[in-house]
Amino acid sequence: MGYSVFQAIEKTKIGLSSETTANFTYRNMGITIDEEISLATYNGIIEKDITRINAYLNEFLTTNNINPLEIDSLFLTGGTSMVSAVQGLFKTKFPHLKINSGDNFKSVAKGLAYSGYLFETED
C-alpha cells in the first residue's frame, strides 16, 4: 500500500504546484480518504524542509565564497523544484534571475541512472 499512498501524495503535490488547493484522494483496501488540502497547510507541513534547504544553500554559498548577485543563471529540476515554497525561496535568494527548469519529472531518475557507478561496490 505504501507505493499507492505515495502516488496519491505526489498527485496532490503536483496539484498544489499550480493551484491554491488540491484534493488528496486515496482509495485502497477499504480505506477511503478524500480531503482538500490548501497550499497554506502544505507549506506549513514542509516549512522545516524549506528551512533546511535554505540553510544548505546559504552554507554552500558561504563555503564557496559566492555572492548570489554574481550568479547569472539558475536552473532547478526535479518535481520538488515546482513546489511554490521552493520557487519562493529561490526567487527571494536570487531576485535578479529568472528561474529556468525542465524535464522535472524524469531528470532526477536520469541523474541517478547516470551516477549509478557511484553505488557500485568492489567485491
Q: How many CB atoms within 10 Å of residue 23? A: 13
- Of 50, 1, 64, nearest to 27 (Cα)? 1
User: What pTM was estimated for this model as a whole?
Assistant: 0.72
Q: What CATH architecture applies to the domain 2-119?
A: 3-Layer(aba) Sandwich (3.40)
Is residue 29 within 8 Å of residue 1, measured between CB atoms?
A: yes
Domain spans in the chain, listed from the N-terminal domain onward:
2-119
Tens digit of each residue's pLDDT (9 = 90 or more) over 35-62 = 999 999 999 999 999 999 999 999 999 9
Cell numbers at 59, concatenated: 552554507
List, in sequence order, every residue forming a beta bridge with 26; answer none if it has no partner.
33
What whole-number distance in Å separates Cα of residue 76 and Cα of residue 94? 12
The dihedral formed by the CA atoms of 42, 109, 29 and 38, expressed in degrees to the nearest 10:
10
Instruction: Quick: pLDDT tens for 78-113.
Output: 777 788 999 999 999 999 999 877 665 565 556 666
In degrees rounded to 5, what are phi and psi of residue 76? -110, 145
